[in-house]
Structures are given as C-alpha cells and as structure tokens.
Structure 1
Amino acid sequence: MGDFNLALVIVAIVVCVIVFLFNIYLLVNYQHPDDANQAYFPKIIVVLGLSVAAISILMLPADVANRQACEHALYNGACNLTLPMKTLWLVIYILDAFLVFFCIPFAMFYYEGDQDKSTWQRIKSSLIWVVATAIICGLLLGILYALVGKVDFSVRHLSSPVANFPNSWETLSSTKPCIVPGNNECAASLANASSQKTWTMRTTFPEYVVALATIVGSVLFSIFGGVGIFCLPLGLIFSFIRRPKAVITRSQYIKEATEMGKKARELKKAADALRQEERSGVKGRKWRKNVKSVEKELLLLEDDVSALEEMYPQGETAETAWVMTVLGYLAKIVLGVFGLIISVAWIVHIVIYLLISPPLSPFLNIVFIKLDDVWGLLGTLAFAFFCFYLLLAVIAGEMMIGLRLVFITIHPMKWGGTLMNSFLFNVGLILLCSISVIQFCATSFAYYAQATAAQEIFGHTLESLRGIKYLYKYNVFQYVFLILAILTLIYYLIFGWKKKKPSGRFQLSS
C-alpha cells in the first residue's frame, strides 16, 4: 500500500514538472516579439498561473486515484499513507484566488502603466490599486464570513429502543425495518417529517474563500462555457466548410490587398486621434468605446490578412504553404467532429444526470468506470480530458463573446503575437473558471468521484453554504449553461454556413 502511494507521489511530481515546462514552451512561442527579453515578472506570473490552473484540473483525477489507494485496504491505518488531498485542494485554490485577485492585477497595472514614468512610480501606482482592491475584498469577505459563513446540513433524527437480538433476521423487511415491532423511527424512509432537523456549523475561512471564488467563476463559466461548448467544435467545422477551395489570381489578390490597405490607413488615423485625445486628458466613456471599436476592427483586419495570405501564398515555398493550409483545414474538420461528439456527450450527461431527478442514468460515470476496468488509468485519463475540454470551451466562448460585444476588452491569444497584458487577462480567466470547472465536474461525475476530498469541499460544504446553496439546489448554473449552449447551436446552424462579408468603412463614434 505504501509503495502505491509512493508511486502516486512520484507521478504527481513528474506531471507537475512536465506541466511547468510545457507552459514555459507556450509562453516562449506565444509571446509578442516586443516582449522578448523583458517583462519578466508578468512572465513568471503567467507560467505560475497556467501551471496552477492545469494542476488544479489534474487534481480531481489524482483525488480519485488517491481514494483508490485505500479502497482495498487490509488494515485501518492504510489510508493514513495517502496524500492529504483536502489540504492540497485548499492550498491550490487559495493560491488560485491570490493570483487572480492580487498578482495578476498588479502585473497588468504595472505592464500597462505609463512608460514615461520610472519603474518605482509604476510599482507604486500598481501597489496602490492592488492594496485598495485587497482592502475592499478583505472587508467584504470578513463581513460575509461573519454574517453568513455557515453551512446548514439537513439531517434526520432516528431512534429505536433497545431490544434483544431476534432469533431470526428473516422478519426484517422494507415494511418492517426495525427490530422492535411497531417502531419505525429507525428507518429514514418511514420516519415522520418532524424527525428532519437542520444541523448548522461554521465553515473554515479558507473553504469560504474557495466557495465565493467558485460562485464568481461559476457565473463566468455558465456564460462562457455555455457559449463555448458548441462554439469550439462548430467553429472548427464551419471554418473547414468556409475554407478557400483554390488559390486566387494575382489580380484578385491585388484588389483585396488594396482594400485592406485603405482599411489599415483608416484604423491608423483613428488610433492617432485616440492617442491625441488621451494625451490631452480626454478619456471619457465615448473614448473608451472608440478604443474597443478600434481594437475589434484591428483584430478582424489581422484575420482578413491571414485569410488573404492563405488564399495567395507567395515565395519559393508557396506550394508547400498551400499544402500545409489544406492539411490544417483537414485537421480542423477531424478535431471539430471529435469535439462535437464530446460536446453532445456533455449536454446529454448534464440533462439526464444533473437536471432530471432522480437521474435517468449515471452515463459518463459508468463509461469511466468501465474504462478503468480495461486499464487502471484509462478512465482517469478520459475523466481528465472531459474536464480540460470544458476549460477550452470557456476560452472559446470568451473569445466569441468578446468579438461581438464592444464593451468587453478583447485579449486575443495568437501564436508569436500575444502581448503580456493579453496573456495575463486570459490566465486570470482560466484560473477563475478552473475552480468552477472542477466543482462542475465533481458534481457531474459524483458517482465516479465519490468519497473524494473534492466532493467534501465542492459537494457537501459548497452546496450547503448559507445564502449560496439555493443556486446549486435549483441547478441555476446548469440551466444557464444549457440554454446558452442551445442558443449557440441554433446560431451556428443558421449563420455558420455564411462566409464573412467585407466590412464597410470604419468610423469612430461622434
């Protein structure tokens, strides 16, 4: 038994190292050339944040494996040799909250600070904002914890008088579950309503912090995840459908490039005008709206340029580039179809296991258990994949909504062209939603992940927390998730087939 847990510890360490190295690889390849060899503090936060998010997702499968370490114990003390998962959960999520609400805002304030100021002035300005945020958050958390930081567990009081053991147990049945004839107080199913009581106790402050962070993340998760669950695969599928079928002619290329050049000059004039307004101190609501509009148009223009380069590859490697483009779209259709199957499986599982009471079937829970029977870690790997897929859906949903709503700041992630503020924003989003993804998975796969530390935190405690439990009791987040998923599916089925038309002349709001 001890050897099993030693192996589990070794695997956990190896996985953490691999995750850390992979995140460094992502940072190096996604960062913008302007951030090369500088902005080291934001880069450290990005790597740390991505590592914490990935490890938190992987901790639920590790929690299941940790439970299995003492499932077939030969002696009572065997479970003492397993990992302290509840402590590890609290540590990872307190670190998650600290990164989201303090480290990442500080790094963003510092990175986006006025470049004309000295380093100390930028640090001072960032600290003022972060300290003010910390004080406000601390006061709110302290007040809420003091007032409603309790859990209410519904329990049933059962009792039965003492009696001698019967000569035969055959007299006991579902209609006569008690030893003493005529006394049914010992059976929960037959006890009267007055036997149900509410057991109140105060939760720990770390668990309360995790619970509130989960609520914030659940709001974002239900919106972005609901949109992204179908946006992620259908975006790939319809990208293949709208793909360029052949290389365009040189005259067509010149015509399109000329139009894009005009659009680029308009955007440059608009950006110069906004920069002049900023220097003059005019930064009102209209200015911020115009900034968002320019950011959105610039992002769309970059996509148009990339699409034009695909349709008319140039240089000595033009043929190779076209072949790679074709292979890329084939990969998109394969991944899109596979992702669509996973998305449909998620939606079906949510409906038949979470929204229907009692559940029609454990569905994916049984699938994971059967896979574990085939090979010990196969079900765990499939379980981890479904959790990661939800996180990818959240990012896809955020990008889709951000491109269509001008009041949401757009922070695109591009290979070799991502600025650190965009990196930090998306890492913060991933960290915030990762808590809710774990909570959602712990609830969705309660049958497979039963008796784990995650269920104790995200199941019993969170869903019994005073003032919050009703959101989970009535499946509010699940219904929002499902409704947005259906609306997104309808949107793609109606508009996904249409090719994007060239945008008109760009103008700022007057």
Structure 2
Amino acid sequence: DPHGLCLSCAAGAHGRDTRSAGADREEAVVRWAPQERSGIILAGSNTAEEAMALRDPQRNETASSPPIGRRSAGGMLLALMIAVVVALAVGAGVDWFLAAIIVVVMLILFVVNTYLVVKWSDPRDRAATARLTMLIIVSLTVAQGAILGLPLDVANNSNSIDCSNEWGDTSECGNLNMLVFWQSIMILIFVLIVFAIPVAIFFYEAYDEVEIGGKRTGTRGAMATALCYEFVVLAATFTTLSLMWAFLGTSQIPVNDLSVSLSDLSVQSTNFSTSTGRQLFVGNSQPLTDDDACLSGCTSSDDGQLDIKTSFATYILAFTGWVGWFIFALFGGVGLAVVPFDLIAAFVRRPRLMDASELARVKQDLQQRTKHLVGLGEDIKKERQEWNSRKHSWRESTKKRNADRTNVNKFKQMVYLLEKDFETWNISSKNVLDYNPLMPYVSLALGILSAILSILWLLQLILYVLIDPPVSQFLNVFFMQFDQWFPLFGVLSVALFSFYLLVCVTFGLFKLGVRCFCISLHPMEYGKTLVNSFLFNVLWILLCAIPVVQFCTQAFDSYARYTTIGSLLGVQVRYLKFFRYFFEDNVFIYIILVLMGLTLAYLSVYSKDKPPSVLDLKSKVRR
C-alpha cells in the first residue's frame, strides 16, 4: 500500500503484525517488526522507541508479496521487439543499417533499464514481483524509445522534403514508415497508462494474505478487485474519448494561399515546412515570412482554414498528450529549477566529520524525534480504530479520508527526513570508511551541467518559441551543425535535452511530494525502492513522454522540419478543436516558465526540507 506506514520497533515487538481493518487502501497501516528489520537503529540505545522507519507493509519479511511468476519476462521482451518490427513497417529501399541501429538501441535501453531497476529495487520486493518489475522495465524502455523517436525521424528524413513526398527523390532517405512507428508507440503508451500500469497498481495494493474482516484475499481476489477498478477507468476513459472525438475531432488548420506567375517568381528553390504548416524555407536558411516569400509579383489571399477529421488513433495521441501536458507543466516546471538546486545542495550539505559533543547532540535530537514519531504513529492507529468503530455518512467519510491522507503524507515526510538525517549522522559517526568522498563532487558536476541545461532550455523557449517571429533559432543551429559534422552528435544532443526533461519531471514530482502534502511521497532510493513506488513514478513518466516529444518538436522546429512527428503534432494535434487554445497560445509553456521562476524564488528563501511540527500534527489527528 503506497499509503502504508511502518513503525519498526527495536525491542519487545516479537514480530507481531497488525493491520488496519478498513477496506480503504489509502488508510495508514501501523506495523511492528523485530529489531533486525528496523529501518533505523540508533547505536548505543536500548529503549523500544529508538528505531523507526517509513516502509510499505509488503517491504517487511513477515508480509507476503503477490506470487507473480517470472516466465512472462521473455514474452514481454519478445512482444516489445515485435512491436518495434511492426512499427518499422517499411517499403522498398529501406535503410537497413538505420533499422538495425533502432533494434540495437532498444535492446541497449532494455538491458540498462533492467540493470537500474534491479539495483534500485528492494531485494525482497523484487524477488516476489518479477512480472511487475518487467512491466516497469518495458514501460521505461517505451518512454525512452518515444524520446529517441524524434532524432530517428530526423535521420529517416535526412532533412529533405523529398522524404515526405512520394514524388520526391528518396534515395537519401531512410524510408522507414514513421507514421506507423509513431502511432504504434503512442498507442502502446496509451495502453500502458490506461490499462497495464493501473491494473498492476490495483493488484499490488489489493493483494493481501492477511485476514481482513474474516475474509482472505489472495491472488484471485486481488485480480478481481483490480479488474473491477480498471473497468471503471476504461469506461470513463473511452466514453470521454469517444464523445470528444465525435464532436471535437476536427483539426482546423489555418492556410494562407500565395499565388504568383511563374515568370515573376524570384525565389528559385522553396521548401515548405510540414512541422508548422505555415513557414517557408529557402534551402537551409531562416524561415521566411509571407511578405518575404515572393520578392515580386506575389499576391496573398486572406487567411483561410482547412478542416480535416483526424483518425481515432491520432485523437488518442492528442488526448493522452493533452492530459500529460498538465503533469509535465507542473512537475517539469518545478523540476527545471529543482534539479540543479538539489544536486548542488547535496554537495554543500555533504556529510562532514563531527566531534564527540556534536555527535552526541545530534544523536539525542534523533532519539527525541524518533520517540515523538512513534507516539504520533500510535495516535494515528488509535484514532483510525475509533473512527472505524462507528458509522459515518458519505460526506463525513470523504472529508475524513482527505484530511487523513494529508496527515499520513506529513507523517511519511517526517519519517523520510528523519531517515536521511540518521544516514548523515551514521556516516559522520562510524561509517566514514564506507562513504565514497567523490560522490558529492559528482553531484556538484551534475548540478552544474543541469544548471546549464536549464538555462539553455529557458533561452530556447524565450528566443525561439514564445517570440514571433523568432529572434534566433539558437539550439536548432547547433543541432543541424552537429548533424553535418557527424549525425550521431545531433542525435545525442537532442536525446540529452529530451531525457533531461524526464529527469526534471521525476525531481519535480519528488520535491512536491516532500513540500506539498496533497501528493503522496514515493522516493526512489538505491536498493530500497518498492515496486509500487516504481509504478507510481513510471506512470507519470509515461504520461509526460508525449508532451516531451511535442515540446521538443516545437522547440526544435527547424531541426525537426519535414519529420512525420512534426506534421502529426505540429499540424493535426496542434490545431484540433479545443486543444488548439492551449497549444497555439503556448499556455503550457508559460505555465512552465512561471513555475520555474516561482520555484527558484521559493527555494532561495526555503532551501532546506523541514518536517512539520509533531505537536501540530498530533492535535489534528486527535480532533
């Protein structure tokens, strides 16, 4: 249960396991575990309240995890590779070297993700949930594959308009069917978001071999519960999608007709960009305006509109991306400021040597905080039992559940910060030899790099995206020059900027979980990450994958011209009814910039994560 609580008591517990009898899975669970399983052991103390950690109930060895087999790993990998091959439905003259690179890159991503997930996951959780772990790996690979699809699309079209037209010379093109590729991978993302991951989360939370209310919930019961919840999700999703597609599924593309006599045409070679539907290029030069398009004898008609009914698959892409934009604007905007700040702060606040008196003082403070939180956990448990013993109206239950969720999130944040402070104290007191002194400097280097990336993104948005006409193409110029020197440089550069946005989303999500108690805290820790935390974070990463691709396509419009995804997102999706008001006016981009600025201002004043007052939280729990 991602909302579960675990109080590990160092002595006198004898492995006793108690769980709340409420059916609401979002309620807190107070669990006692023997000393060897406690998350925090304060050295040199013998009191029962000295050890405490925030953990998921499934984390405890006495608790059981879903008995999910491992045989599906190969099948899921095979299905992923088949999806890639199907997406690459190619015609004659395909660049098989480019196709082979795609398969190799997908395999590399799969192997790297497998290694990272295995290393970061909790060993006990990992061993019992291999199928869910494989789902996490596949989801990460799909999200990363979507990000790498943009430079692939550029390489496939070779920066030539001929590749986008049957009448053109396609001898220098990759000839991969990128439309099938994008539709396949976007629908796969949609299936993972709407079906696979929600079912996994529902199943993981519903599975329980402890008797609750006289009934035993096992694998079948958990799956039945998960499918019931999923049926509601699917019904709501497809009902909304169908109604919106029926009434709002038309793309209203603005057009501007230019007419000129061939004898008066001064521009010798022109290429229209399909990425915006309105820009005119001369070779590889800057985009031309309507006034500059024809130097003489050219007349322009009034602005018109071309209505095109989009396919249902395209509308699924648009709807998923539109929903994901809210998540991306919120967490991405916060993350663009948080990533460099937190990485540099990790260097500034690195563990340092303490003298004996300071160590004793910090230890006493940790013990005091631990005792207070153990008492707070008991209050939460007692208050929960008293509430469940009485009947309440739906309105009262809803209000109580919302307030309780906030209190639980505060408690989890307090325990998480206590664990971090204990780790710092433990390193300074006795585990200095186990600490790598180079890690703070690695964090500093990454912080400086991330600060540079955030500044470059800020300049790109201001100079190229928000100002019309653009002041400068900025990063587009560098990417195109990199492609001319060596194509791999351009691919790696775009991949770096794109993946950095996903990192910002993850950091922003975690920072809001620590500072804003309406969002549940799901930390990603090396060797300690639970499966439900992985699923929670991967769900947001998948939701942000399509917005990141659309964001990069718009920001790197000149680099991504003539691409299939540019035509799909920059024309059909951009000018869809209702959605166009968000995309044409750059609403989400302004939100990102505003949140980035507000986050920087907030962190400059409140730089350190501080737990709320225990006394205030106790008073709220006892009301």
Aligned position for 1:139: 239
Aligned position for 2:438: 327
Is the CA contact (8 Å cut-off) linking 2:514 and 2:609 kept in structure 1? Answer: no
Aligned position for 1:260: 366
Aligned position for 1:82: 175
Aligned-partner SS, 2:306: strand
Equivalent-residue separation in structure 2 for 1:135 and 1:206 (angstroms): 17
Equivalent-residue separation in structure 2 for 1:151 and 1:23 (angstroms): 38
Deviation, 1:186, is 13
- Say if 2:361 is the partner of 1:250: no
Aligned position for 2:492: 381
Equivalent-residue separation in structure 2 for 1:201 and 1:249 (angstroms): 73
Aligned equivalent of 2:311, options 204, 208, 216: 204
Aligned position for 2:279: none
Aligned equivalent of 1:365, options 454, 462, 476: 476
Deviation, 1:312, is 2.4
User: Closer, same or farther in 2 for the Cα pair 1:142/1:415, shift >3 Å?
Assistant: same
Aligned position for 2:280: none
Q: Which has the higher contact order (CA 8 A, sep 6+)?
A: 1
Is the CA contact (8 Å cut-off) linking 2:265 and 2:296 kept in structure 1? Answer: no
User: Closer, same or farther in 2 for the Cα pair 1:187/1:397, shift >3 Å?
Assistant: farther
Is the CA contact (8 Å cut-off) linking 1:4 and 1:69 kept in structure 2? Answer: no
Deviation, 1:249, is 2.0
User: Closer, same or farther in 2 for the Cα pair 1:500/1:212, shift >3 Å?
Assistant: closer
Using the TM superposition, name which of 499-508 and 461-470 deviates more.
Answer: 499-508
User: Closer, same or farther in 2 for the Cα pair 1:327/1:96, shift >3 Å?
Assistant: same
Equivalent-residue separation in structure 2 for 1:231 and 1:458 (angstroms): 29
Aligned equivalent of 2:230, options 117, 126, 130: 130
For 1:48-103, what per-residue CA distance to the aligned partner results, in whole angstroms no more than 9, with x for missing partners? 11111111111111111111197788974547862111111111111111111211
TM-score by length of 1: 0.88
User: Closer, same or farther in 2 for the Cα pair 1:268/1:188, shift >3 Å?
Assistant: farther
Letter in 1 for 2:112: F
Aligned position for 2:40: none
Aligned-partner SS, 2:369: helix
Aligned position for 1:443: 554
Aligned-partner SS, 2:299: coil
- Say if 2:229 is the partner of 1:118: no
Aligned equivalent of 1:217, options 301, 319, 324: 324
Aligned equivalent of 2:593, options 470, 482, 492: 482
For 1:84-143, what per-residue CA distance to the aligned partner results, in whole angstroms no more than 9, with x for missing partners? 111111111111111112111111111111513111111100100001110111111111
For 1:142-185, what per-residue CA distance to the aligned partner results, in whole angstroms no more than 9, with x for missing partners? 1111111111112235667xx9x8xxx5x6569xxxxxxxxxx9
Equivalent-residue separation in structure 1 for 2:160 and 2:140 (angstroms): 31
In structure 2, the gaps of 5 or more residues are: 1-90, 211-216, 268-293, 389-396
Equivalent-residue separation in structure 2 for 1:53 and 1:75 (angstroms): 32
Higher helix share goes to which structure? 1
- Say if 2:181 is the partner of 1:95: no
RMSD: 2.8
- Say if 2:117 is the partner of 1:27: yes
Is the CA contact (8 Å cut-off) linking 1:69 and 1:82 kept in structure 2? Answer: no
- Say if 2:130 is the partner of 1:40: yes
Using the TM superposition, name which of 270-279 and 96-105 deviates more.
Answer: 270-279
Deviation, 1:281, is 6.5
User: Closer, same or farther in 2 for the Cα pair 1:371/1:78, shift >3 Å?
Assistant: closer
Is the CA contact (8 Å cut-off) linking 1:31 and 1:415 kept in structure 2? Answer: yes
Q: How many residues align?
A: 483
TM-score by length of 2: 0.72
Deviation, 1:274, is 3.5
User: Closer, same or farther in 2 for the Cα pair 1:106/1:272, shift >3 Å?
Assistant: farther
Identical-residue share of aligned pairs (%): 31
Aligned position for 1:305: 422
User: Closer, same or farther in 2 for the Cα pair 1:321/1:457, shift >3 Å?
Assistant: same
Is the CA contact (8 Å cut-off) linking 2:460 and 2:475 kept in structure 1? Answer: yes
Letter in 2 for 1:110: F
Using the TM superposition, name which of 303-312 and 208-217 deviates more.
Answer: 303-312
Is the CA contact (8 Å cut-off) linking 2:162 and 2:170 kept in structure 1? Answer: no
Aligned-partner SS, 2:518: coil
For 1:367-412, what per-residue CA distance to the aligned partner results, in whole angstroms no more than 9, with x for missing partners? 1111222222111211110001111111111111111111111111
Aligned-partner SS, 1:60: helix
Equivalent-residue separation in structure 1 for 2:609 and 2:180 (angstroms): 51
Equivalent-residue separation in structure 2 for 1:503 and 1:75 (angstroms): 65
Is the CA contact (8 Å cut-off) linking 1:97 and 1:213 kept in structure 2? Answer: yes
- Say if 2:127 is the partner of 1:65: no
For 1:395-448, what per-residue CA distance to the aligned partner results, in whole angstroms no more than 9, with x for missing partners? 111111111111111111111111111110000010001111010000000100
Aligned equivalent of 2:463, options 352, 357, 362: 352
Is the CA contact (8 Å cut-off) linking 1:70 and 1:82 kept in structure 2? Answer: no
Aligned position for 2:51: none
